[in-house]
Each structure stands twice: as structure tokens, then as C-alpha cells.
Chains A and B, each alone.
Chain A
Amino acid sequence: MKRTHLSAVLLVTAALVGAGAARAQESPIVPGAKSTPPPPRPQRAVRYPTPVQTTLPNGLRVLAVRVPGSALVAADLALPGGAAADPDGAPGLAALTASLISRGMGHRSAKEVAVALDALGATLNASATTERTDITTDALTARFPAALAIMAEAVAEPAFAPDELTLAKQRASSGILLANGSPSNLANLVVQRALFANPFGRPISGTVRSVAATQRDAVVAYHRAYYRPSGSVLTIGGDLTPAQAFALAQHLFGAWTASGPAPAPLPTAAPATARVIVVDQPAAGRTAIAVARPAPLRTASDWAAASIANSVLSGYSGRLNEEIRVKRGLSYGASSTYLSGRYAAGTSANTLVEHAKAAEALDVMLTTLASLGTAPVAADELGTRRTSLLGGIASSIETTGGLVRAVTANAFNGLPLGALGVSNAALTAVDPAAVTRFASASYARPPTIVLVGDASKFLDAVRKSHPDVLVVKATDLDLAGEQLTR
């Protein structure tokens, strides 16, 4: 029921922010009488902690970040590989492997592991993304060593019992059906597939067909190749000293070894040729629209400019929502997301509209995105958007788990230890000219466009501006291959 919350802003009202006018009267509210808001006081700086690191003799890189007073300790182990390391034609293997590691291990059955974790009040999650697999755990501090012990055993000695594989395949298959039932989710999957050439466009969860075909040998082989200490990053965060965190890591992960040679690192993603794709899903309640482009990697010099450009488009009063919702009432919301990894990165602008409004909304989105490179971003617009972006980053590291995930991602992506503070400085240094320079190049490139909905209600209108449309029935869609159908 929430009022849409994105983040956001275009206008800066001088009267509200300008100190001079406001300082005059901090008047009490008297119903019906005019009053002005009091000015802000001096701001306290956000603390961006810098982790401490060590490397265990087996090659595992361990980072510790202290969070005084935290009731919980959290850990995140990032392993290289991810869906981009899935075999050709068999997407979903990294995700299926991750989903199995806690389902029985060493001397414990799946049920014993589940009971032990629940009795600790701990969480243990494992999931794959395109570039890596993350195993995370958290527990109240006193219970954390026992939770981390289970995680270490799950990583090094998973059983991959055949009946657990059968159940995991069934769960994965249902998950894919559920995700594909939502036009917004399906649009994102098609964007992922269409934006990059193999190995980067694969659906992380695989397809119903590829999951059903997965054999235990493949899972075991994936685990052997990619679950290895060297090249992985473990972060432990909470109210404990780095020495305690390192000792715990050595005790629980020190004996972990890999067999066989390390697989070759992933290449940098190659963009695919931009296409306009309509997925016809007549039963969909609304049409989802996505407009996507490849974008700078996390370590690229224009990462900061790309981040600021994206934030100008995003949020409740960002340019997209302003044009789509506030001015035209075409949708409940519209926004843009920028995800930047070590090997692949992209931006995607998304909205959800009535089927019959899809062509109009697409036009507005394309015009709004293009305007970023042609209409200069005013200094005050940039200032508020930047502040909003930095506030969002600060908020994402407020929980111990959030901080640990951010530290792990930065380390995995090859950023320096002080990356949280360094990124803050880089974002602060971006000026309007840098945004225009970035956007005029990036947002001028042809985008990959995906519409998922009842095509009979919008296809003719979309074709007027985009004659070269690939139309695929949702029932024929096969995301395993670049051609989208079998």
C-alpha cells in the first residue's frame, strides 16, 4: 500500500533550502497561519569503515570490519564463477549448486543442518549471480562461530545427495515458472539475455528445460572447479576484533583446499547487437517495458559519472518518474537501475503500464533517456541527486549484513580496501559537464528494448517507431540461447 518510494528530485526550491530566508523565522505551526521551516543544523559526517585484510595460507582472502555494538555478526564468502561459468547450453548450474550446499554435508544430513541452523537462530543463504556465488550467514554474536562452522563445512564438503538434487531441481523449476509469470521479472530476464553475448546473457536460474536436464556429475564438477579458497573473498563483520575474525577464519577455513587447476578467469562481457524484442504474454495484467544498455564496469574511470547520470533518471522525482508518472499518469512508477560488476555492467530503465499505453510510454522513456545527453544537468539538480545517491549508499551499510555485503562486493570487484570512502569522494567530484559528456556518448547508443505484455494491444503502435521488432510468444521463449527460441 506504500506510496511509491524510489529516491529523487528535480527541483530545488531555493526558499526551502536557502539558508537566508529560512533562518529568519523558525515559527511554530499555528493552524492556517503562514510559517517557514527552520534551517538544518551542521551535518555529522557518515563513517565509512575501512576493513582490515589478511590472506590465509590456502589463498583465501579474509576481510574483517568492526561494527561496535552490533548484536549480530555476519559473513559473506564470494566465490568466482557464477552463471557466466555455466556450461554452454546448461544455464542454471551455478545457482543449483549454490542451492544444494546446505542440503547435507560432511557428517550431517540436510535435516540435521536445517535444525542446527534454526536452533542457533542463524541464517545461511547461498545464491549465484552472473559473476560470482555468495554464501552468507549471520547470527547473534554468541552463536556466530557455530553458524560459520556449518557454513565452512557446507562450502568444503557438500554431499549433493541425489534425492536432494531432485528436490532442488523441482524448487528451481517452480521458481522459474513463478518469476516468468510476472511481466516485470520476465522483462529483466530477457534484457539480461539480450544485452550481452555468451557467457554473460544466461538466465541465472536457468530454464525449466536446462534445470530438468542437470545431472549430479555436473554439479560436482562445478563445485570442484569454482568452490576454492584462492580467488575467493570472505568478509566477517560485527562486534569483534580483526584478530578474532582472522582466527575464526583460519580455524574454520584454514584446512579448505581445492583439487585440480583453477579455471580461467571470466572474460570481460561483450555487448550483443541491440534489438527490439516483444514477448507476447496475453494473460499478463500489464505490460513491462525495459530500455537497457551496457555501462561502465565497477572499476572504470567513468563509473562515478555513470552512477550520477543514473541517479538523475531515478527516484520519485527523478526524470523518468517525473515524465511517466507525475506529468502523464502512465504508470505507478518508473526508474532506472545501474548494476556494475567486475566483468559486466548495464543500465536498465523500467516501468509497468496498461497494455494500450505501452508504445506511448516507450516513446517517453526513450526521449527522457536521450535528454540526459542533450539537455545539460543543472548544478542544483545534480547536487540533490548526488546527495540522494550518497544517502542511499549510507543507508545500505547501516545493517551489519549490508556493510559486509558491500565490503565483499568491493573487494571482489577489485577495488581498494577503503573503497566505501573512495567511492564517496569520486561521486562527490562529478560535475554537470562530466554527466553530459558521459550521457551524450552512452545514451546515444541504440538501446536494447524489451516489452512483455499483451502484444495485440500495442504491437502495431510500437512498430510505427520500431519497424524491426522481434516478436516471441512467451510460450516459445527459450532464454538458454541468444536467439531466444529453440
Chain B
Amino acid sequence: MHRFARGLALAALSTGLVAPCSARAQQAPIAVAPIVFTQRVLPNGLHVVVVEDHRTPTVAIDIGYNVGGKSDPPGKSGFAHLFEHLMFKGTVNVKPESMDRFTEDVGGYNNAYTAEDITNYYEIVPSNHLERLLWAEADRMANLTVDEPNFVTERKVVIGEYDQSVLAQPYGMLFQLVNAAYTRHPYQFGVIGNPEQLNAAKLSDVIAFHTSFYRPDNATLVLVGDLDPKQAFAWVQKYFGPLKRPAAPIPRVRIVEPAQTTQRRVTYTSKNAPLPATVIAYHIPAQRSADTPALNIVEALLGRGTSSRLRVALIDGGVASQVVANADTRQQPGLFYVFAIANAGKTTGDLEAALDKEVARMRDERVSAAELDKARTQAIATLARALQTHDNVAQALVRAAVIDGDPGIVNRATSEYERVTAADVQRVARKYLIASNSTVVAYETATPNGPGASK
């Protein structure tokens, strides 16, 4: 919705009405208006980004901390995520689960997620509650209180989440296995961890973790919606301004994954997957790399839309029932992966051969101008679709700010896509999407027809 050009619309409609022509006809280029934001850094280091948008009477409050799964203490995988749960357990001023009182009770919602590079807490509430939520977020940054019973109970909940999202899901183990692409970097341990290591965590680790990472100079606060920026900045100053910037440096991951030189292969037999699946994952550079826009176009060419190459080759070709291509760019070097679930009667080997063939085409053939233009248009339309809500605009800004240090990246995506050439696409495919840089996961089923399908 919010931030995009509207002038283009009506003129085109009034002429388009007469002949809503074939999609093949010459099209005006689509433009995407930028998200207009203002940003400030408080003296204590808190990065604040504000967007004023009155279209709906709500406001999104996101606070992203520059800490994630890769920051887990050694031998305690899953700790950052466990800690995220503990941020809901009360402060010197409020009882556990108060964030739900401040949001759900007034018609809003809240949640948090932990990824490899970021832990983001967010609330979407009627806009008249903005000041209360700023107070509440400042309060839990400064005043978190966690006792032993709360810690033990919440650890059980997190292990229950592992059971539900990894064990009970037929393909839940698949992306745990893909982490084998890393041999030294902590990305190899993932985010969710495992019950054994979670049980090794202690309450003292919680306190140390909060002290190390939950501080104003390690956070970005993003406010989007029905607000007055001047008033919003004043409230931010009032509630976050008094928080101190600690003297100790923020711990950072400095481990560099060595370049991969030979293909790695992992085979796993799932007890509950109905159909075999294959993933091929390739190392790619960090998100801030100049190659990222071209890799995003490769993702669109391979996997976005019904006419994308993997869809045509594997689904229309009858080999697979689902396909995905994803440039999973991160703060530190990430992975590009292609993934497919087979049709009945097809094997992981069939999938790998078909995926390999399409990836090889990206390296061997130069993409046509028409197909490249299609991928660009899709990338831009997808962005417009994604940024319709205050929630999503805030999420995009906070991720850009925390992962790359610059929320303005959100507005550069369109022009970067426009600049990607067919030569760029082929160059990045030849550089990264090669066998010696890949990890192949073959996810086999225990029985030929899965765990008990109905007839």
C-alpha cells in the first residue's frame, strides 16, 4: 500500500480500459516510490528510524537487536532464541506476559523472532498506544527480571517448539542438515539448537547474555504508522534516553568460514516424510556484497512464478511437486539454495539431476532480455506486495538496519535490480553456483509411499 507511486495508476487505467491488451504489448516501466523515513542516533547509541503513514490508525514498533543464532555461547546452541522467550517474562515494573496485555488486550498483536543475525521484537497496536509500548520496550531493555522457575519453564516451552517445528514436521530436519555447508562458522549450529544443549544453559548465562547484547548501542528501534515524528522522537528520547551505553565492547563473531573446495553430501532417512526431497546449497557472500542484487535476480529466474525455470523443468516436467530457489543472504556469508520435493515414484537422484541441469543453464547460457525484464518486474511487484502493511514496512527497515547497518537499502533494491545485466547474472552463477562450492542433502523416505498416506 503505502509508499508507492500512485500517479502511474489512473492514467494507465483510463487508457487501458479500452484495450486491456495482451501482456506482451509494450509496457511502461513500473516505478516504486521510496519509503520516506527519518533516522537519528541517540547519544547512548540507539538507532531510531521513523515513518509517518496515516492510512490505518495503527503503529508498528520494532526493536531489532544485533544478536542472533550465530551469537550462541559455545556448546549452547539455541540460547539466543531461548533468551528471546525470556524477554516476555517480566521486569521490575511488569509481570510476565505483560506484552500481551499491552497489545492483544487493546486489539493489537506482538511477537518476536530470532534469526541467525537478528533478534526482533515487534508490536502492532492502535496508534494511541505508541507511548505505552515505547515505555514497555525501554523497560525490558533496562529492567528484565528472570528467576529460576521462569527460566526452567520457558526452556521446556522452547524444547516443545523444537519438537513441534523440527521433529513433528515431515521436512523439519531438512534445513538443519543444510547447515552442514558450514564447517567452522557458527551458522553451522542454526538457530533452534537442540534439547541437550538447551538443557546445558544456566540462569547465569541469561544475565550475562542480557548484559552483553541488550543495550541501546546494539539496537535499532523502528516506528511505522499513524504517528507524529516529532512527538515520536520526543517519546523515544524520554524513555530510551536515560539508558546507559555500557563501556564493554559488544561481542562479535569473527570466525571466517574457509572457502569450500569439494562438494559435501549428506543423506538422511526421514521417518515421517511422505516424499523424498533434495537441497543443493551454495556459499554466497554477505548481504552487503555488490553481487547480492544479481543473486536475487537468479533467485527470481529460477524460482519465482509459474514460468520460472525450476517450475517449468521440475513441476511441469513431472519430477517434483514443490520447488524453491532462495538467495539466503546474511550479515556474514550466507547460502543460495535450490530445493525440491519429489512426486511419487521419483527419487532424490532425479531431483538432484534436474536441479543441477537448471543451475548449469544459469552458468552456461546468457539470459534473454525479456526473461531478465520479467524477473526484475516480479522482484519489484513482490516488494510492493510485501510492503502493504505497517508491520511489513517496519520489518523490512529493521532487518536492513541491523543486518547491513543501513535502512536505506530498502529503497535501493529497485534501482539495483534495474542495473543487473545478463552478464552479471551469468557471472555470479559461474562464480558461486558450482559443484565444488555446494552441499547436497538427499532426504530419503523410510517407506516408498511415505508414512501412511490415506487412499
Contacts and interface: CB of A to CB of B under 8 A. Distances in A.
A367 interface: no
B6 A69 contact: yes
A391 B109 contact: yes
Interface residues of A, number: 125
Interface in A22-78: 26, 28-47, 67, 69-73
Interface string B1-32: 11111101110111011001111110110101
A144 interface: yes
A113 B12 CA distance: 22
Q: Which of B4, B127, B226 has the most CB of A within 10 A?
A: B4
A331 B56 CA distance: 35
A42 B446 contact: no
A121 B381 contact: yes
Contacts, number: 391
A150 B30 contact: no
6 tightest A-B CB contacts, nearest first: A391-B107, A121-B381, A141-B9, A174-B321, A285-B168, A71-B4
Contacts of B279: none
A1 B72 CA distance: 15
B170 A181 contact: yes
A40 B103 CA distance: 12
B67 to A, nearest CB: 13
B197 interface: no
Given A9-B101, A37-B94, A398-B390, 4 more contacts: A69-B55, A72-B385, A114-B306, A248-B20
B5 A474 contact: no
Interface of B: 1-6, 8-10, 12-14, 16-17, 20-25, 27-28, 30, 32, 55-58, 81, 84-85, 88, 92-95, 97-98, 100-102, 104-115, 124, 126-129, 131-132, 135-136, 138-139, 142-143, 153, 156-157, 160-161, 163-165, 167-170, 172, 191-192, 226, 238-244, 271-275, 304-308, 311-312, 315-316, 318, 321-322, 341-344, 370, 373-374, 377-378, 380-382, 384-385, 388-390, 446, 449-455
Given A29-B139, A207-B455, A390-B107, A114 B93 contact: no
B388 A38 contact: no
B168 A284 contact: yes
20 contacts: A2-B113, A3-B111, A37-B132, A40-B126, A115-B307, A116-B23, A118-B304, A140-B9, A141-B8, A142-B27, A145-B13, A145-B17, A146-B21, A171-B343, A180-B452, A239-B10, A316-B100, A384-B104, A391-B106, A391-B108
Contacts of A148: 20
Given A177-B450, A180-B454, A240-B13, A167 B316 contact: yes
Interface in A112-163: 113-122, 138-150
A29 B115 CA distance: 28
Contacts of B272: 181, 283-285
A43 B57 contact: yes
Interface string A284-304: 111000000000000000000
Contacts of B449: 177
Contacts of B342: 174
A372 to B, nearest CB: 19
A317 B97 contact: yes
Given A1-B191, A146-B16, A474-B451, A180 B274 contact: yes
Given A1-B115, A141-B13, A40 B239 contact: no
Contacts of A37: 93-94, 102, 132, 135-136, 139
B135 A38 contact: yes
A3 B85 contact: yes
B59 to A, nearest CB: 11
Nearest to B163: A286
Contacts of B307: 111, 114-115, 117-118
Contacts of B136: 37
A282 B446 CA distance: 12
Nearest to B1: A70
Given A16-B98, A118-B374, A177 B104 contact: no
Nearest to A173: B344
A474 B378 contact: no
Nearest to B8: A142
Contacts of A388: 104-105, 107
A1 B115 CA distance: 8
A332 B157 contact: yes
A352 to B, nearest CB: 6
A176 B455 CA distance: 9
Given A31-B142, A177-B450, A117 B274 contact: no
B16 A140 contact: no
